[in-house]
Structure 1
Amino acid sequence: MELQLLAALALGVAAVVALILWSRLDAFVGLLAGALVTGVVAGVPVTELIDHISTGFGSTLGGIGVVIALGVMIGKILEESGGADALAKLFVRMAGKGREDVAMTATGAVVSVPVFCDSGFVILHPLARSLARRYGRPIVTLCLALAGGLAITHHMVPPTPGPLAAAGLFGADLGSVILAGLLFVIPLIPVVVAYARIVGPRLESQLDPALVGDADEDEIGKEPADPRIGAFRASIPLLLPLLLIVGNTVTGAAMEGSAVATVFAFLGEPAIALLIGLAIAVYLLPPRGTDRKTVLGWLTAAAASAGMIVFITGAGGAFGEVLRQSGVGDALADAVSGWPVPMFLMPFLIASFVRVAQGSGTVAIITAATLSAPIVEAAGVNPTLAVLSACAGSMVFSYFSDSFFWVVTRFTGLSGVAAMKMWSGMTTTLWLASLPLLGVAALILN
């Protein structure tokens, strides 16, 4: 790898860390500064560098900004109307009291198969907060459990874009990849729960009260009162958007080009699906007699809390775009491809380094599959195993250039070192846990 690109990566990340941890500037400015430092040191012309930052910021917000805003609004309506409490009680009844973290992990793992992590967390995090408030569980623990469940299937199981693209690039049978990915995820669920239970309580004292309100001590440990609305009614604004998004995925694959697929392609677009969910929430959930001014006040408060999350997420996308366009990710991948390691681990290593370099797990999977496909094919590595390897490697060390890092940590209420302990630590633990699983898969598939 060229020394200049290595220096660009190191100095860019150092600038982000230094500004976020030790200056009076917030993460939004820190990420933009890191993008500028990386681009300048890498030799990107200034005019192109500005274009890369604008493109990365705009494309990231175009994909997730509206979803975040709408999801926060649905969550606010659920909280204020009592809908989140009704769903929380249902979740505890299904999983059993004391196993709320297991319920959140399993829910996240199921939802993230057809839905992006960011959208799934935005939609479901009010449940985690309500469970934490009502049953005296640490908010960090339940948010970690939810986010971890979302992450493992997002990285490992098609039809999410990364695994789907890798299956095509490696020439693997898609059905085999789906089955193998699901089997791979099962032993990772206890890892998510264990990490959440160990780390969550230790970070609870570092929650920012400006981001997450403190629980009412009188409510902790008590069985919640009967909610004002039923769980089924409360679930409609959550389930309908998810079903529309899933319907888009299924009809797009099974009925491509049909009229049904065309309808679902529109209704199942995350922003449209959540807009429908918000409209239903506004008119279905508030108790009878709630006036228009009150509901508008809820939505205004939600928009205010979503604003900084949206901007930070966009800045993370800008930083990631500069890392990609500067050539740092490709240079790392080329360097790793020449290392003397078992061939089934080649996609794993390339994906790991690309993920660290530019933040996107999907880009890491696709880059690893593109560069390693000729190598693993020549070595006779099973294509399904190669897909699992690239996908597992992409889970490593989610940090400032990953939009999901900001969604998880800011919605939870953590920043700085605590945020990295929460989410960078979780993803790295899952990455390490996947190594022995890859070894077992190699014994079975090769």
Structure 2
Amino acid sequence: MDLQLLLALVLGIATIIILVLRTRLDAFVALLIAALVTGIVAGQAPLEIVSAITTGFGNTLASIGIVIGLGVGIGKILEVSGAANSLALAFLKLFGKGREPWALGSVGALVSIPVFCDSGYVIMNPLARSIARVKRAGYITLALALGCGMTLTHHLVPPTPGPLAVAGILGADLGALILAGLVFTVILLPIVVIYARWIGPKIEPDMSQSVREMVYGTAVARSGGRTATAVADHDDAGTHGDGAPTLGDSESMHGSSVDIDNTDLGAPPAGAKPHRVGAFVASLPLLGPLLLIILNTVSAAIDQNNQGVIGTGEYEPSTWAVPLAFIGNPVVALVIGVLLAVYVLLPRWTPRSKVQGWFAEAAASAGLILLITGAGGALGQVLRSSGVGDALAEAIAATPLPAFLVPFLIATLVRIAQGSGTVAMITAASVTAPLVTSLGIDPIVAALACTAGSMVFSYFNDSYFWVVTRFAGLDGTAALKGWSGITTAVWAGSIPLLFIANAILG
């Protein structure tokens, strides 16, 4: 590889890491500066660099920006309507007693598809505390299973913003990526549960006294025992120390619907019954769009096979496939999801101003993700137009290293260096986008490599690390053994899956 182009690549990635870690600048500005540095060092004309940045930014957001905005809107309504809680309780009933870690890991994975990890964990954690209090043990196991279940789909399954951005940058089919990400999630979930069950009892004694008291009750926490009196006294209080609703028996703990505080949804008419969201209804805004997108992918594959144009790039949908292509387009499918969320999950008395306010909050949370996604596309375009991408492809082709491991390793290194999984996967996708065509890497495999690599070793520079460990009451070595360990376990478990995916799709 030409030394100048190699230096451009190395300095570009180093610029991102240094600016995020050592300055007041965020990832959006860091990615743009990295694009400028890469282009200049590679010897590209200054005006050509600016043109590449604007072109890459615009093209990326044109393909994925609307979808990210709609996805976070659905997630916000799931959060405020109580639908997420309803889904959690349904999973508990489905899995049954004694399998609570499986239930919480699974519901964490489902809820985190449209809801950001941080807010999703805050919503679901009271349920983990309630179950642990009823069982009088095992809170750390439940907290880790819930948190890492969320990590899986947050990193692997669109319409979570990170995987959506990767799909847009790499040109991966969204429906196929959803299917592949779900397969990875199902296979990796046992690792989550097994690790949580193994490490949980070992580090539970290290839980902070304040969290122990909130979960198990004051008397139990101070004695270290499991007295029925203390639990009963805590039940009489009506809530946990953190405001979580009590679940005093297995019937309520494994129910499938939940009452919503109507004051959060607007003042109900006189005599109106409490608003309830059943599990099936709660799932509609989430599963509806996903199924439509997947249906579009499957029908397009069948249609291309019938036409004999698979892999040629000359596909035009047949008459029968056009309606499915329309409703299964991610933009249309997620618009349908938003309509279902607003008009099915929320009661009719919810004021318009409240709903619009929730969407404004969702848009604010999505804003930085959109900017980072566009900046990632800008960096990728500079890498292509400057010749760095082609040079990197040639260098990799001359080594025995499987090409699909390159985005995996880049995402891994960036994640460890600066903490954000979203930034890590977008950076990896941006750097390796030029390689997808030249090295013959399947875009789905490349996308999975970017997203899986970004799961590694969540620790002090990751905001989600602090959310999980603070709620779990873990510090120091116990936090590293519990949370950093479980995220590294699923990262390692994804490596053989990538080899298998490459063998099937490559």
User: Which interval holds the TM-score relative to the shorter structure?
Assistant: 0.5 to 0.7
Contact 2:101 2:193 in 1 (8 A): no
SS in 2 for 1:122: coil
Q: Residue type of the partner of 2:281?
A: R
Q: Residue type of the partner of 1:367?
A: L
Give, in whole Å, the separation in 2 of the partners of 1:258 and 1:195: 48
Q: Residue type of the partner of 2:334?
A: L
Q: Residue type of the partner of 1:292?
A: R
Q: Residue type of the partner of 1:15?
A: T
| Shift in Å, 1:32 | 0.9
Q: Residue type of the partner of 2:258?
A: D
2:374 aligned with 1:371, yes or no? no
What are the residue-to-residue correspondences of 1:89-108 with 2, within 5 Å?
89-95=89-95, 96-100=99-103, 102-103=105-106
Q: Residue type of the partner of 1:289?
A: W
Which of the two has higher C-alpha Rg? 2
Contact 2:83 2:282 in 1 (8 A): yes
Compared CA separation, residues 240 and 431, structure 1 to 2 (3 A): closer
2:243 aligned with 1:218, yes or no? yes
Compared CA separation, residues 164 and 148, structure 1 to 2 (3 A): closer
Partner of 1:12: 12
Q: Deviations over 1:207-226 (max 9, x none)?
A: xxxxxxxx971318744882
Percent identical residues: 41
Partner of 1:169: none
SS in 2 for 1:121: coil
Q: How many residues align?
A: 376
Alignment counterpart, residue 359 of structure 2, candidates 289, 299, 304: 299
Q: Deviations over 1:407-436 (max 9, x none)?
A: xx889998xxxxxx9999999876755666
Q: Residue type of the partner of 1:44?
A: Q
Compared CA separation, residues 88 and 393, structure 1 to 2 (3 A): closer
Partner of 1:211: none
Compared CA separation, residues 440 and 423, structure 1 to 2 (3 A): same
The alignment's TM-score, normalised by the length of structure 1, stands at 0.66
Partner of 1:417: none
Q: Deviations over 1:137-175 (max 9, x none)?
A: 367534313235539xx99xxx9998999xxxxxxxx9x
SS in 1 for 2:321: helix
Compared CA separation, residues 47 and 441, structure 1 to 2 (3 A): closer
Give, in whole Å, the separation in 2 of the partners of 1:267 and 1:442: 30
Give, in whole Å, the separation in 2 of the partners of 1:186 and 1:432: 15
Contact 1:350 1:368 in 2 (8 A): no
Partner of 1:240: 288
Give, in whole Å, the separation in 2 of the partners of 1:322 and 1:310: 19
Compared CA separation, residues 124 and 350, structure 1 to 2 (3 A): closer
Contact 1:86 1:229 in 2 (8 A): yes
Partner of 2:77: 77
2:204 aligned with 1:144, yes or no? no
Alignment counterpart, residue 114 of structure 2, candidates 92, 101, 122: 122
Give, in whole Å, the separation in 2 of the partners of 1:325 and 1:389: 24
Compared CA separation, residues 192 and 6, structure 1 to 2 (3 A): farther
Contact 1:135 1:221 in 2 (8 A): no
2:46 aligned with 1:46, yes or no? yes
| Shift in Å, 1:36 | 0.9
Alignment counterpart, residue 379 of structure 2, candidates 319, 336, 340: 319
**Worse-superposed segment, 288-297 or 363-372:** 363-372
Give, in whole Å, the separation in 2 of the partners of 1:31 and 1:161: 14
What are the residue-to-residue correspondences of 1:361-400 with 2, within 5 Å?
364=432, 367=435, 370-371=438-439, 397-398=453-454
Aligned CA-pair RMSD: 5.0
Partner of 2:279: 231
Alignment counterpart, residue 335 of structure 1, candidates 391, 395, 398: 395
**Worse-superposed segment, 221-230 or 363-372:** 363-372
The alignment's TM-score, normalised by the length of structure 2, stands at 0.59
Give, in whole Å, the separation in 1 of the partners of 2:180 and 2:150: 27
Compared CA separation, residues 237 and 243, structure 1 to 2 (3 A): same
| Shift in Å, 1:4 | 0.8
Partner of 2:125: 132
Q: Residue type of the partner of 1:321?
A: Q
Q: Deviations over 1:37-90 (max 9, x none)?
A: 111111121122112111221122122211111111111111111112111222
Contact 1:333 1:354 in 2 (8 A): no
Give, in whole Å, the separation in 1 of the partners of 2:180 and 2:81: 41
| Shift in Å, 1:273 | 0.8
Give, in whole Å, the separation in 2 of the partners of 1:237 and 1:442: 32
Compared CA separation, residues 46 and 294, structure 1 to 2 (3 A): same
Compared CA separation, residues 48 and 93, structure 1 to 2 (3 A): farther
SS in 2 for 1:289: coil
